[in-house]
Amino acid sequence: MGGETFGFSGGRPDIWAPEEDIHWGAEKEWLANERYSGERDLANPLGAVQMGLIYVNPQGPDGDPDPLASAKDVRETFGRMAMNDEETVALVAGGHTFGKGHGAGPDDNVSTEPEGAPIQEMGLGWMSSYASGKGSDTITSGFEGAWTANPIKWDNGYFDLLFGYEWEKVETPAGAIVWHAIDVKDEDLAPDAEDSSVRVPTMMTTADISLREDPIYKKISKRFHENPEEFADAFARAWFKLLHRDMGPKTRYMGPEVPQEELIWQDPVPEGSTDYDVDAVKTQLLSSELTIQEMVETAWASASTYRGSDMRGGANGSRIRLAPQKDWEVNKPESLQKVLNVYETISNATGASIADVIVLAGNVGIEKASGVNVPFTAGRGDASQEQTDIESFAALEPFSDAFRNFHKSGIDIAAEEILLDKAQLLGLTPVELTLLVGGMRAMGVSQSGDGVWTEGKLDNSWFKTLLSMEVSWSSMELEIHLKHQIDLLVRKLELQQRADLVFGSNSQLRAICEVYASNDANEKFMSDFISAWNKVMGNDLYYPQ
């Protein structure tokens, strides 16, 4: 269509079954909206404004054609895809330079979605009883019309129309609200979808009108309108980002059109080194005054930011020492800085990256707690603050991390639910999830200081206590925590989160715990724990394919 692209990488895998652990929202009905609280505060980690929509409601929030309110939704939704205002305007305007909406008739002519359709529809769904159901008779989105007079060519027609006319609300044949230009000229009409000799009105959605009503969006849109080449470059870059940001670092890219330019949203990390003495680093760590808990917790805090959904985060880059991660509540900023100061000194003395020192220190902590050797892979690099997109990394902040016994006050989602989401992002199996929680608890890793079961020893004591028939559990009033008393002997009452008790109350997780609670299972537990630990520590180690 005449547009310039920024680049392309192949390498995306296909899946052949739905991912059942995706959080789609609280809604049970198509296009319902139960994901807001307060003054239009969208629940985390959702992006779409309603279940069944991709981004925002094109008619405006909940169908209300208010451009400024729509701008708030657009900014929030695109912001959750790590798009800034300029990228958002480029994507909306560039995307709407092409194609059209389809709302040729009342939407009650369209039947149920594929998964809810009768068996004889063979999984197709959305069957239309309106005329031919094709071409000019198509009903999909409900808003009808093209945005530009030439919807199959890259040009500046979108902004020409947006700023060239005043606009009024009209209702499409499907009953949706769109905006039509007042006193539109013939040359600004669009060709009919089937018969190009027939000219039909162009349109804008409420979300489009927000680009000329929101002060920030309007300023950017005006600049793009006056500078078409800048707009074309901004769209090409934002489009590339949209299609590639879930592919991980550039080392995973492949093909002849991979751009050479390094982009901050790719979370660049300088190449690491393996040319240092690992044993010398371990010796300095062992001679430091850091505790097992400090070393293990810091390694976990760094590596567990990894998200398998887009392969962001992880220990590589040691971004835990940079904003915003160094200031996250879950990372205990003051004590974290003390640990990082020690690691920086060791890094300077040995030539190891701080990222490698962080992971190796976690291994050293586990070795001290277990007496078992923990394998280590070197080669991580250290990113700079300039290579770190602070705003987009803020989305990775954990508000609950049951592995560290942390659940921020005011979070209305149960800790065990967030635990499962975290495990899925880390690529953990149910067994690995169970091992890591049990092992971290045994070594005394607890953000709050509660729920410490042993004095830094990696063993299966957590499983034994959890499943002991001599331990009773009761709910504390007005608290999400639970208390337990062990054997009514010398141990004090301790606070424990729901995320621990789910391992005893859920039949499948309990079965796993019963294996590791066995008297002869300690050696197996330590070996399996280390394997799961190394998986998390190495999730972000990428090599060219």
What's the confidence (pLDDT) of residue 454?
A: 58
Query: In angstroms, rounded to a whole number, what is the distance separating the alpha carbons of residues 218 and 93?
Result: 12
How far separated are the first and last CA of the chain, in Å rounded?
A: 32
Residues ≥6 apart with Cβ < 8 Å to 290? 339, 342, 361
Quote the radius of gyration of the chain (alpha carbons, Å). 28
> With bands split at pLDDT 50, 70 and 90, how would you rate the model's confidence at 485?
very low
What's the confidence (pLDDT) of residue 495?
A: 39
Query: In angstroms, rounded to a whole number, what is the distance separating the alpha carbons of residues 268 and 382?
Result: 10
Tokens found for residue 153: 């060519």
Q: Which helix (H) or strand (E) holds 112?
A: none
> With bands split at pLDDT 50, 70 and 90, how would you rate the model's confidence at 496?
very low
Say yes or no to pLDDT of 493 above 60.
no
Identify how many contiguous H helices and E strands the chain contains and give both numbers. Answer: 17, 13
Q: Residue 406 pairs with which residues in a beta bridge?
A: 401
Instruction: Say which residue the tokens 């109350």 belong to.
Output: 505
Please work out, in degrees rounded to the nearest 5, the angle formed at the alpha carbon of residue 387 by the alpha carbons of 384 and 389.
120
Say yes or no to pLDDT of 453 above 70.
no
Per residue in 57-101, pLDDT (tens digit) is: 999 999 999 999 999 999 999 999 999 999 999 999 999 999 999
Tokens found for residue 313: 């985060």
Single out the residue of 225, 236, 208, 239 nearest to residue 74, CA to CA.
Answer: 208
Query: In angstroms, rounded to a whole number, what is the distance separating the alpha carbons of residues 367 and 205?
Result: 60
Q: What domains can be seen in the chain, in order of their start residue?
A: 57-75+96-230 (1.10.420.10), 278-396 (1.10.520.10), 403-529 (1.10.420.10)
Please say whether the beta carbons of 388 and 279 come within 8 A: no
Q: Which helix (H) or strand (E) holds 485?
A: strand 481-485
Per residue in 14-61, pLDDT (tens digit) is: 988 877 767 788 898 888 999 999 989 998 889 999 988 999 999 999
**Sign of the C-alpha dihedral computed for residues 177, 180, 186 and 189 taken in this order:** negative
Three-class SS state of 288: coil
Q: Is the peptide bond before 45 cis (omega within 30 degrees of 0)?
A: yes
**Sign of the C-alpha dihedral computed for residues 48, 308, 415 and 301 taken in this order:** negative
Query: In angstroms, rounded to a whole number, what is the distance separating the alpha carbons of residues 63 and 184?
Result: 25
> With bands split at pLDDT 50, 70 and 90, how would you rate the model's confidence at 545?
very low
Sheet holding 494-497, edge to edge: 472-475, 481-485, 494-497
Q: Which helix (H) or strand (E) holds 248?
A: none
Tokens found for residue 452: 């410490």
Its pTM stands at 0.88
What's the confidence (pLDDT) of residue 412?
A: 75
Say yes or no to pLDDT of 484 above 80.
no
Distances (CA, A) of 328 to 86, 221, 303: 28, 35, 14
Per residue in 101-111, pLDDT (tens digit) is: 999 999 899 98
Please give the backbone phi and psi of residue 90, each rounded to the nearest 5 degrees, phi first.
-60, -45
The whole-angstrom distance between residue 247's C-alpha and the CA centroid of its chain comes to 13
Q: Residue 171 pairs with which residues in a beta bridge?
A: 177
Please say whether the beta carbons of 103 and 137 come within 8 A: no
Q: Which helix (H) or strand (E) holds 181?
A: strand 177-181
